[in-house]
Amino acid sequence: MTAVASTTVDLARLQFATTSIYHFLFVPLTLGLGPLVAIMQTAWHRSGDEAWLRLTRFFGTLLLINIAIGVATGLVQEFEFGMNWSVYSRFVGNVFGAPLAIEGLAAFMLESTFLGLWIFGWNRLPPRVHLATIWLVVLGSWGSAYFILVANSWMQHPVGYKIVDGEAQLTSVWALLSNGFALRAYLHTILAGLIFGSMIMLGVSCWHFLRGHEADLFRKAAKLALIVAVPVTLLQLIVGNRFGEAVTSAQSMKIAASEAQWNTCEPCGFSLFQIGGFTASDPTPSFAITVPDLLSYMATGSFHGQVQGLNELQTQEQRKYGRGNYMPNVRVIYWSMRVMAFAGVLMFLVAAAGAWLYRKRKLERARWFLWTAIVGMALPYVAATAGWILTEMGRQPWIVQGLLLTSKANSPNVSTTWLAISLAFFITLYLALGVTDFVLMRRYARPDRPTPQEELPAPAVTY
């Protein structure tokens, strides 16, 4: 019986992980490419330079292909709470449901409605009003991200609630909305979005340089991408680090696991790479590269700060919540943190090298860099995925930190068979969608694409 129950929970978790990671491949590009397209359209509006209009339309198309699938997969997320996690839904609905509802009412509707106006309003709306619609789309998507992260952050660091009759009840909406964890997570996510947008724009532009296609046009795009990418990737390294401090106070176990820090240390070195040391029975790595004192700084803001170890935290949690294992999967958390951070540093280096080459006017001829930027388009995807694995798996075994265990939150009436069916369904459908999306994005981004007039017998068809 217990074995069946744990399989059910595992399948439900695997499904949530699959669908949300997938959803988040599309969301951040929307968050970042949206404002870049809006900036380009604004530049066209102000200067009248036709090049900006062409760039707006070029990157606008990539944005639209991407948004379609982001919207579709977002619906899955909303339904999934109730479908697979009904106990969780009843437990948190009072608190967690509110930001979701506000998100729909205040942000998502704005984004969707004005997106329709932007796509179809080119000749119908006065240029100034049409320009406003793309900015409202950006406002909607950024607002949407905020409310969703408020909801998620409440699971990481519950605030503004009380527990009555085994249910969380909201006591302060202000506390919920100004949750420090949420504000940091939001900044981190918005920066991630801008990194997505600028790295994709840079990569696509470099692809065009490589083929010697429309270099004058894409030089403008590359310049804009670099102006955004350099400060944003650098800022993200700092913000990510500050975010780590918030996590330390709210979720000490997550930080200890992300460093595979079994015993409390003061000061603590930061492990860059290690072999072994990921289980309680084998706490000491057989090989490790460590930077002295750095972990103390990252976790506490001081080079001499104390970081509690997994073993000590486990003892504390047992005293607080009763017997059980309160540690997440240390190996996964350690590596997801590193993959995210290393990808972040790499992206900064790519952006910085690009800016330097651009200043030297060598960007378009530096083939090594063009290829690096093209391959580098994968980096934001890698970093975002690793980041969410760290955030969500690092919270385990809790679904709501300190309040509800994941193992007790699933829908009791949803059988293993149903879950297996739905998981297989999502994997198949999402793979098919992913491949199609990639093919379409590639086709519309490629330099040697024929003009639309050649490929469509009826050029006036808009749909």
Partner 1 sequence: MNLQILWFCLVAFFWSGYLVLEGFDFGVGMLLPFLPRDERERGAMLETIGPVWDGNEVWLVIAGAATFAAFPAWYGTMFSGFYLALLLVLFFLIIRVVSFEWRSKGEGTRWRHVWLWANAVGSTGIPLVWGIGLSNLLYGLPIDSSGNYTGNLWDLFTVYTVLGGIAFVLVFAFHGACFLTLRTTGDLFERSRRAARLLAIPAVVVGAGYLIWTVAVAVDRNDKDVFPPVLPAAIAIAAFAAAAILVYLGRSGAAFALTAVGTLSIVATLFTSLYPRVMVSNPDFANSLTVSGAASEHYTLAVMSVVALIATPIILLYQGWTYYVFRARVTGEEIRPPSDVIAGQTGPSAG
Q: Which amino acid is at 314?
A: Q
Long-range contacts of 53-59 (CB under 8 A, 24+ apart): 54/217, 55/217, 55/220, 55/221, 59/33, 59/201, 59/204, 59/221
We find the least distance from the C-beta atom of residue 206 to partner 1, in angstroms, to be 16
CB of 183 to partner 1, least distance (A): 19
Of residues 274-333, which lie at the interface with partner 1 (CB under 8 A)?
A: none
User: CB-wise, 16 or 108, nearer to partner 1?
Assistant: 108
Torsion of CA 124, 130, 134, 137, to 10 degrees: -70
CB of 71 to partner 1, least distance (A): 6
> Helix, strand, coil % (nearest 5) of the chain?
75, 5, 20
- Nearer to partner 1 (CB atom), residue 322 or residue 457: 457
Give the nearer residue to partner 1 in terms of CB position, either 220 or 331. 220
CB of 142 to partner 1, least distance (A): 16
> In terms of CB distance, is 100 or 247 closer to partner 1?
100
How far apart, in whole angstroms, are the C-alpha atoms of residue 135 and residue 56?
A: 13
Nearest distance, CB of residue 105 and partner 1, angstroms: 4
> 287 vs 463, which CB is nearer to partner 1?
463
Smallest gap from Cβ 425 to partner 1, in A, equals 6
352 contributes a contact to partner 1 by CB under 8 A: no
Amino acid 124 reads R
**Owner of token pair 């059988």:** 415
Closer residue to partner 1, CB minimum distance, 130 or 408: 130
- Taking contact as CB under 8 A, which single stretch among the options 58-66, 180-188, 324-332, 399-407 is the one that binds partner 1? 58-66
CB of 221 to partner 1, least distance (A): 10
Contacts with 426 (C-beta within 8 Å, 6 or more apart), sequence order: 15, 18, 19, 76
Residues 220-239 that bind partner 1 (CB under 8 A): none
- Residues 393-432, interacting with partner 1 (CB under 8 A): 411-414, 418, 421-422, 425, 429
Name the 3-class secondary structure at 262: coil
- Are 354 and 404 a contacting pair, CB within 8 Å? no
Nearer to partner 1, 23 or 338 (CB): 23
18/171 with CB nearer partner 1 = 171
Q: Which residues contact 450 (CB under 8 A, 6 or more apart)?
A: none
Closer residue to partner 1, CB minimum distance, 187 or 420: 420
Closest CA to 220 of 233, 209, 234, 211: 209
Side chain identity at 320, as an amino acid letter? Answer: K
459 binds partner 1 (CB under 8 A): yes
Residue 106 Cβ vs partner 1, minimum distance, rounded to whole Å: 5
| 463 lies in the site for partner 1, by CB under 8 A | yes
Cβ 393 to partner 1 shortest distance, Å: 24
Q: State which of positions 11-50 bind partner 1 (CB under 8 A).
A: 44, 48, 50
- Scan residues 59-118 and list those touching partner 1 (CB under 8 A): 60-61, 64-65, 67-69, 71-76, 78-79, 81-84, 86-87, 89-98, 100-106, 108-110, 112-117
Exposure string (b/e) for 312-338, b if CB count within 10 Å is 16 or more? ebbeebeeeeeeeebbbebebbbbbbb
Site residue total, partner 1 (CB under 8 A): 100
Map residues 157-196 to x or -, x wherever contact with partner 1 holds by CB under 8 A: -------x--x-xxx-x-----------------------
Angle between helices 127-156 and 86-102 (to 10 degrees): 150
| Closest residue by Cα to residue 336 from 260, 277, 406 | 260
Identity of the residue, 97 or 283, whose beta carbon is nearer to partner 1 in the bound complex = 97
Residues 123-162, interacting with partner 1 (CB under 8 A): 123-125, 127, 130
What is the CB-side half-sphere exposure of residue 447 using CA atoms within 13 A? 16
d(CA 82, CA 89): 6
CA atoms within 13 A on the CB side of 165: 2
Q: Give the nearest distance from C-beta 223 to partner 1 in angstroms.
A: 17
**DSSP class per residue in 140-191:** HHHHHHHHHHHHHHHHHS--SEEEETTEEEES-HHHHHT-HHHHHHHHHHHH
